[in-house]
Structure 1
Amino acid sequence: MNNSHDVARLSRRSFLAASGGVAAAALLAACSSGGGSAKPIKFWNMPWGGIDFAPTDKQITLAYKPSGELPPATYQSVQWANFTTTFASAVASNTGPAVSSGSGTQAFQFAKQHHIAYADDLLDSWKKNGLYDDFLPGVLDAMKTPAGYVAVPYNLDMRVLWYRKALLEKAGVTPPKDWQSYLDACEALKKIGTYGFGIASGAQGNGFQILVGLLINNGGGLFDKEQKPNCVTQENLDALDFVVEMVRKGYMDPGSVGYSTTNAYSQWKADKFAMGFESPGLAQQVGGAAGPDIYVGDPLVSGNGKKGALYFPNNIMMYTNTPSQKGSEAFLTYYYKNMAPLWTKNTGIGLPVLKSIAATKEFQADPNAAKMISVWQPICKTWAAPGGDALFSNVTLVDSTPAMTTFAQSVLSLKATPKEALTTLQNTLVSQMK
């Protein structure tokens, strides 16, 4: 695996409705194909992995040979920089793709704007060819709305427990299994000069994701069954009390409040972070002598006796602006049947959504990746927790937004009590709901 955490973080940014982007729209319009039914299916994909990802992905796409009168496919890699404006401008001007990936919540925003072609017919056809049953448990549920499936799951990102094996051995402790043994391990690690609660909560960090993951771990989360914010619950208060205890006891690096993910990688590499919740690509991102010493731990049993974690089912969506809806569906059927090399050739795309890819010897060769699929994925939940797994447009309010960074920093800096921080977040989310 060679997944970029910065890419993963960007992939879950809330998709902002269009503002500006006229130049981008003009450029995309100039690059569009000619008119009539001969127009190709335009597939836009994000650079999900390392340097080998886009070339491999393009090769798979251009090898598509449609049957009958169905159109062929073209390929365009869309960079993460300003991607929200790129998509919003192109979709608004009808110069966008017929099929694309994007942010994890993008499809829900565009569905609300009536630009998404729902995937129900496609998924029904996959029930006949075996693809439907190949998806990991629960990932399709995240795409289902009352109007239908807004997208198809594509790759997974999640926040799992990692630990430095050599540092735990030096401290004389074993990998924790529950919140109490986590605290005990942190205390032992503190005595050897390292931190057990590695986290980065600056503007370019993911600290808010870690905190939400711990809320979910305790049976909590941010939204109720009506998909409305419900932040101030006992489960959430207890989870943040656990976090505050770690901060007060010195188990967290004080600089973490302002750290970026790059800062955090440096701390892992410098033997200063011995445990923490991070993305699937942590060991590869840290690299060096420390990388091979970083292992995925087991899901923790919370103080409430629960297991759970936060994950992000990134997806591929179809648009109403297509030269052929049947063509869009035929291309996606081909793509999903042939996309395994993105994982078996180690392009760094992240974790697969198909059981058949996860079962390949190439994927299983990475024990950390294999453990994330077999042990962590079944207990993971989306931003919609605890009310459900299905995403919806208002989750964009908590997906890498300033409100979430403020929430995490207020807790980790001890400038607000758990109840104060959750109440402020609740009021902010309610005021921003549309």
Structure 2
Amino acid sequence: MRNFLRILPLAALLAGAASSAHAQVELNFWDQVWGPGSYSQRAQQLVDDFNKSQDDIHVTYRSVPWANWYETYVTAIASGSAPDISTGAGFQAVQFYSMDAIYPVDDLVKEMEANGSAKDFAPGTLEAMKYDGHYVALPWAIDLRALFYRKDVLEAAGQKVPTNWDEFLAVSKAVTKDGIYGVVSSGDATGMHWILSAMINNGGGLFDADRKPNLTGEKSLAALNFLSSFATEKVLNPASAGYTNDDALGSFNGGKAAFYLSSPSTADQAGKEKDKVGVVPPLTSTSGEKGTIGWINNIMVYKQTEHPKETLKFLRWWSENQKVLWTEGKAGGIPARVSFQQDPYFTENDQVSFVIKNYLPIVKPMSATAGGTFPQLNEIDGDGFMMSLVQKLWQGQPAGEIVTPAQEHLQEIMEQ
């Protein structure tokens, strides 16, 4: 009995130590697919690196496909099984915040401001995460639209790179012949981005300064008429209204069109044709302005987390260590952190470097010219009414005759 009494405390201590060793906080991280297969693989490895770096937190990584992504998160929130943290689309955090599902990251931002690390975020990106007086997420990537051109197509027609809208149409006319067109686009979401980019380029946008729908405003309508002229001037591939983005990209990469509006990594998708792809300097519109559309992708914490302190710790670590998602994982878009943008991976890529230097400073969000962020933007971004509008524009229908239904639908969304 005496020996048993001596052994029992030791056994209890060992049991307690074993329990303590396994008392890790478990976090679930859901991450959208932001690139090719290499992206999710490198993201998993990065999570593994975090797990090895300390003892008190263990993160489980889940790659979430874009198909039905919105339903995936809404269902998880409604059922009480939301992740602790996730990446997401440009307005995901603000919409879910309005549903009381997002945990503000104000304390983390204060810490980063105090030690100066918040200054590493590109101008305007952190403020774009602020809604209702709170930071609802951290920015991690910037997706914007730039205008690309085929050097060989312009050279064959003896044309120079345009600098304004009038020159753009003139060059497009000059190259359109023998099965080659000035412009190729699509009737899906990528084609819709022409609407947003052109309106912002002309100093307009979906809204006025008071956040009222403004598709019919003077500058916005002028931009829509400019797009409609692609078809009426016969410089647009007539199949564009029915094309998907893959169709349009294939046509451009095949040298069948001079101009194509898309993401910063477009040239990298051209394979052996990459050196034939150039970036058009931002065009000056008829109103004398420059600009393009951009989205700032979020990484957010959910209110359902039982471990906000640990989740914020992981969020900060992830934000500061995710450069490899681009340099090794081949993520799309541009990092929200300026220090990442200065990596040779970007600076030695001629096309991407040009986009960062020339387009990034003039990017504006979908909320231009109202500014800020608000929950309706997520629905607008995913609604099909602008795809219907761009399809009609690519068919050459006058903007003044087709914009009213889109304006009314935008008003309905804003009134919800």
TM-score by length of 2: 0.90
What does residue range 20-419 of structure 1 map to in structure 2 within 5 Å?
Answer: 38-64=24-50, 71-191=57-177, 193-201=179-187, 204-287=188-271, 289-345=272-328, 347-388=330-371, 390-415=372-397, 417-419=398-400
> Which segment is superposed worse, 306-315 or 265-274?
265-274
Question: For residues 346 and 63 of structure 1, what CA distance do their matches in structure 2 show?
Answer: 15
CA contact (8 A) 1:215 1:235 kept: yes
Deviations 1:66-112 (A, max 9, x none): 99995332211112222222111111122121110122221111111
The structural deviation recorded for 1:411 is 1.9
CA contact (8 A) 1:154 1:352 kept: yes
The structural deviation recorded for 1:283 is 2.0
Q: CA RMSD in A?
A: 2.0
Question: For residues 83 and 28 of structure 2, what CA distance do their matches in structure 1 show?
Answer: 5
Aligned to 2:6: none
User: Which residues of structure 1 form unaligned runs of 5+?
Assistant: 1-35
CA contact (8 A) 1:103 1:314 kept: yes
> Which segment is superposed worse, 340-349 or 372-381?
340-349
Decide whether aligned partners of structure 1 residues 387 and 246 sit closer, same or farther in structure 2, where only a CA change above 3 A counts. same
Which one-letter code corresponds to 2:175 in the other structure? L
The structural deviation recorded for 1:198 is 1.9
Q: Helix, strand or coil for the counterpart of 1:254?
A: coil
The structure whose residues are more often helix, as a share, is: 2
Q: Helix, strand or coil for the counterpart of 1:295?
A: strand
Q: Helix, strand or coil for the counterpart of 2:281?
A: coil
Q: Helix, strand or coil for the counterpart of 2:66?
A: coil
Q: Helix, strand or coil for the counterpart of 1:40?
A: strand
The structural deviation recorded for 1:349 is 3.3
Question: For residues 237 and 165 of structure 2, what CA distance do their matches in structure 1 show?
Answer: 19
CA contact (8 A) 2:142 2:296 kept: yes
Question: For residues 412 and 147 of structure 1, what CA distance do their matches in structure 2 show?
Answer: 41
Which one-letter code corresponds to 1:348 in the other structure? A
Q: Helix, strand or coil for the counterpart of 2:261?
A: strand
CA contact (8 A) 1:107 1:150 kept: yes
User: Which residues of structure 2 form unaligned runs of 5+?
Assistant: 1-21
Question: For residues 74 and 68 of structure 1, what CA distance do their matches in structure 2 show?
Answer: 14
Deviations 1:22-58 (A, max 9, x none): xxxxxxxxxxxxxx98541211111111121112111
Which one-letter code corresponds to 2:402 in the other structure? A
CA contact (8 A) 2:380 2:413 kept: no
CA contact (8 A) 1:49 1:350 kept: no
> Which segment is superposed worse, 344-353 or 131-140?
344-353
Question: For residues 362 and 414 of structure 1, what CA distance do their matches in structure 2 show?
Answer: 41
Question: For residues 67 and 182 of structure 1, what CA distance do their matches in structure 2 show?
Answer: 53
Q: Helix, strand or coil for the counterpart of 2:182?
A: coil
